[in-house]
Amino acid sequence: MKKFAFSLLFFICVFYVNAQQTQKPPLHGKNWMAITGKPLAATAGSMIFQQGGNAVDAACAMLAATCTMWDVLSWGGETQALIYNPKTKKVIAINALGVAPTGATVDFFKSMGYSFPPQYGPLAAVTPGTVGGLCLMLAEYGTMSLEQVLKPAMELAAGYPIDAQTANAMERGKTMIKEWPYSKKVFLPHAGEKREAPVAGEIFIQKELLATLTKMVESEREMLKKKKSRKEAIMAANDRFYKGDIAKEFVRGSKEQGGLITMDDLAKWKPIIEEPLSVNYKGIDVYKMQQWTQGPTMLQSLNILENFDLKKMGYNSTKYIHTLYQTMSMTFADRDFYYGDPYFAPEEPMKGLLSKEYAKQRAAMINPDINDANIGPGDPYPFEGKINPYLNLINERKVYTDSSIKQGSATPDHDVQNVAMSNEQYMQNLWMGTTSVEAADKDGWVVSITPSGGWIPACIAGETGIGMSQRLQSFVLDKGLDPYNVIEPGKRPRVTLTPSLALKDGKPFLSFAVQGGDTQDQNLLQFFLNMVEFGMTVQQACEAANINSNQLWLSLGGTKINDRKPRAGNLLLHDKTPQAVRDELKKMGYKLSFDDRTSGPINAIYFDWKNGSFWGGSSNHGEDYGIGW
């Protein structure tokens, strides 16, 4: 009888999943697909496609538009991209993350009383990466000129009707914005009035940003007049930003407000074309960025979950939720200790972390009956034939979560006494937003981007109109937290940003990304499993209820240890979670909270090879959506 009841329940769950109606319709197209965080920015991508551009051209136009619209990022932020090249049939990665500037050292920030670099302001900035990433992608894989691709963004900078989300962010952040004269000038056009930011629908004008973009286009035109190649012309515009008059004003404006970035920092920085990391999950090759992002956590999770029959457990059953939570606790513990910039010593043990054998060991450690509040980093070194040089730190790092720490320990005493931030502020930092860009065309080009940085309230650098990044806060100042991610000049912080591509039978299967800070790879993991294990359509999977774990170290927000500590057992569920599941999870040691939003806006493209078409999906939360043809 029990077996029959379980089978019936499983059938009902599968039927419900496959039959559920979505709040947004899926997108369909056979020629191209363009999806991103703002409707006007998706329109910018469609304009480029209609002019004959490929998916890289369209993705660059959407990236430029979202930066101009301050879609939780700006032009001074960072860009992470995966590109499928149909000519080589390979996935490549674009590393356009800025680096810590001259003077950004452990001693510098500790002397100011920080346990992590600051969250906002000029001292939170790495060097800008998005401009270089866009120029590199366009030059190497696009077909159009920079002027063509930037035209929609330049029209937006000349004035566009601002949306409520962005306008209200300016108003909420105005106290901090007023600390920075160039930001105040741009974001608060009604200074002195009751509402100083623009209102929804008001034409928002950015003269300084338009002038900066115009200078870049002028440099490109000059090179084309000299009969230089398209690529050389684009890179001339890039050089004007990083070495010319734009760079000089950026550095001057940054230093005036207390920033550290130098001309030498900008001139030396370069985006990098990299090999992505990947694992195979049940015949599907899943690609993520390297360990300077949190992307490999999803790959590690898939390796672990491959050892369980998830479909038999049932979508969002108690057993499924518990298995997911334990798996993510393990992979995020590894992220928090082992991930960092691969171009700096020590070398991260990625071969071991991504090995199937290590995953089996970790899977076997999962207690099926109770949450393990003490999950810590594993030891992947034996799985690449090495001895772990930091085992002592793994044992010692428990001091950071021990409330009985005394003065003289590894953590400053004033940190321990610091009252942890409010739950509302904590969740805001956990979900800290960005945007995503997804594009595909009939010729086979596929692009997935998760750009970010320079979000409101942003410190604008001089008269450039460029908001400076806030990504420096993702470094640590103590190797006991992560010996691979300790700040030093020229180094990249380990970021949360994580675009995704998946291939099946050697052809594109999914392109997907999401905003949401530390929850990104939690949400993307569940989105992927929703499609692969539970047969959802791409739109159903984008809208489906997820779970969020807080059993990890925050990557963003708060300059004290207590602000960032893991909250063991904290579990966010959808508010429609059945009472029986809630009761069972409580018995397993979970502390539950509920919301109707359990995922950031997921954007995705599914490749329907049977019918020769694209399916586009976008979450029912936020302003994200797209256009297909």
> What is the spatial distance between Cα 33 and Cα 479, in angstroms, rounded to a whole number?
44
**Predicted pLDDT of residue 418:** 40
User: Looking at the domain assignment, is residue 353 inside a domain?
Assistant: no
**Predicted pLDDT of residue 7:** 40
Distance from the Cα of residue 519 to its chain's centroid: 9
Q: Are 88 and 479 in contact (CB under 8 A)?
A: no
- For residue 185, the enclosing domain spans 67-79+97-271+453-471
User: Looking at the domain assignment, is residue 420 inside a domain?
Assistant: no
The answer to whether residue 14 scores a pLDDT higher than 90 is no
**Predicted pLDDT of residue 244:** 98
**Predicted pLDDT of residue 421:** 64
User: Looking at the domain assignment, is residue 192 inside a domain?
Assistant: yes
Span 469-516, pLDDT tens digits:
999 999 999 999 999 999 999 999 999 999 999 999 999 999 999 998
The torsion region of residue 336 among left (phi > 0), alpha (psi -120 to 50) and beta comes to alpha
User: Looking at the domain assignment, is residue 516 inside a domain?
Assistant: no
**Predicted pLDDT of residue 2:** 39
Share of the chain above pLDDT 70, in %: 93
**Predicted pLDDT of residue 405:** 32
**Predicted pLDDT of residue 1:** 42
- Dihedral of the CA atoms 197, 179, 206, 80 (nearest 10)? -110
Average pLDDT over residues 514-533: 96
User: Looking at the domain assignment, is residue 257 inside a domain?
Assistant: yes
Provide the mean pLDDT of the chain: 93
User: Looking at the domain assignment, is residue 481 inside a domain?
Assistant: no
| Kind of pairing between the strands at 437-441 and 591-595 | unpaired
**φ, ψ of residue 183 in degrees (nearest 5):** -70, -45
User: Looking at the domain assignment, is residue 323 inside a domain?
Assistant: no
Give the chain's domain count. 1
Span 236-248, pLDDT tens digits:
999 999 999 999 9
State pTM to two decimals.
Answer: 0.94
Radius of gyration (Cα) for the chain, nearest Å? Answer: 24
**Predicted pLDDT of residue 623:** 87
**Predicted pLDDT of residue 412:** 32
User: Looking at the domain assignment, is residue 146 inside a domain?
Assistant: yes
